[in-house]
Chains A and B, each alone.
Chain A
Amino acid sequence: KAGVTQTPRYLIKTRGQQVTLSCSPISGHRSVSWYQQTPGQGLQFLFEYFSETQRNKGNFPGRFSGRQFSNSRSEMNVSTLELGDSALYLCASSLGPRVGSTDTQYFGPGTRLTVL
C-alpha cells in the first residue's frame, strides 16, 4: 500500500506570494492532518480534516487555510507569505472513522518551503 505523498517536495517563494501544498493520504484513510516544523518552534499542529470538514485547528493566523476533497486528498494554502513561514510542512493521514476515536497518524515526506 502506498504511503502518504506530498507535492511538491521543495518550494521557494518570495514574501507576499501565496503557496499551495498538496497531500494524498494512504488509501482508505479519511483523516488528514497538517503540521509545521521549524527549528525554533518545533512541530506544531495546523489543522485536521475528515470527510471534507475541518475538525480541529491549531493557533495559526488566518493566512493558513486548508481543504479536503471528496477523495480525501488535502491541500493547504498560505497567503501573503512571511519569512517566518519557512518550514517543513508535514502531512499525516489516519483512518479517523468516527467522532471521539483516535488513530495512529502516518506521515508523508514533507514539503520544504523557503520564503525569501
Chain B
Amino acid sequence: AQTVTQSQPEMSVQEAETVTLSCTYDTSENNYYLFWYKQPPSRQMILVIRQEAYKQQNATENRFSVNFQKAAKSFSLKISDSQLGDTAMYFCAFMKLEYGNKLVFGAGTILRVKS
C-alpha cells in the first residue's frame, strides 16, 4: 500500500518570503500522480499543483513550484512571495493509475503566514 509522509506538522513564514513544505511517499508503482492541495480555515480543499511521475520537469503554478525527486520519492512544495492568503493546511497526495481514482493523503502541514 502507498503511504505519504509529511514530516512538518506546522510551519510559519513571514509575508513575502519563501517557504518549502516537505513530502515523501512510498510506492512500488512507476506511473502515478502527485498533488498538493490546500485547505484554508473555510475547509474547502483547493488544488494547488499536480505532477505526473513520468515527467522529469517540475510543475509550476505562479508562485507555487515543486521539487520532484522520483528516485528519492520526494515531492516538496515551494511557495514564493508568501501571502497572508496562503495560510492553510497543505496536504500532499498520491494517486496511482488504477481502476478508480483514489487519493492517498499525508497528515498535512499547517502553514501560517505572518505579517
Inter-chain CA distance A105–B100, complex, in Å, is: 12
A42 touches B108 (CB 8 A): yes
Chain B, 66-115, CB within 8 A of any chain A CB: 91, 95-108
Shortest Cβ gap from B83 to chain A (Å) = 22
The 8 Å CB contact of A56, one of B42, B50, B98, is B98
- CB < 8 Å: which of B33, B44, B46, B91 contacts A43? B91
**In the complex, which residues of chain B have a beta carbon less than 8 angstroms from the beta carbon of A103?**
101
A9–chain B nearest beta-carbon distance, Å:
10
Number of interchain pairs (Cβ within 8 Å): 65
Cβ of B25 within 8 Å of any chain A Cβ, yes or no, is no
B47 at the interface (CB under 8 A from A): yes
For the complex, give the distance between the alpha carbons of A88 and B46 in Å: 15
Q: Which of A42, A55, A104 contacts B105 (CB 8 A)?
A: A42
- Bound Cα distance from A110 to B41, whole angstroms: 13
A2 on interface, CB distance cutoff 8 Å: no
Q: How far is the CB of A34 from chain B (nearest CB, A)?
A: 11
- Does B11 sit at the interface, judged by CB under 8 A? no
Size of the B side of the interface (Cβ < 8 Å), in residues, is: 25
Count how many chain A residues have C-beta atoms less than 8 Å from C-beta atoms of the other chain. 29
For B107, list chain A residues within 8 Å (CB).
42
Closest CB in chain B relative to A27 CB, distance in Å: 18
8 Å CB contacts to B: which residues of A40-73? 42-43, 45, 48, 50, 54-56, 58
A104 near B97 (CB under 8 angstroms)? no
Report chain A residues within 8 Å CB of B102.
33, 45, 48, 56, 58
Q: Are B105 and A50 in contact (CB under 8 A)?
A: no
Residues of chain A touching chain B, judged by Cβ–Cβ distance below 8 Å, are 31, 33, 35, 42-43, 45, 48, 50, 54-56, 58, 88, 90, 92, 94, 96, 99-107, 109-110, 112
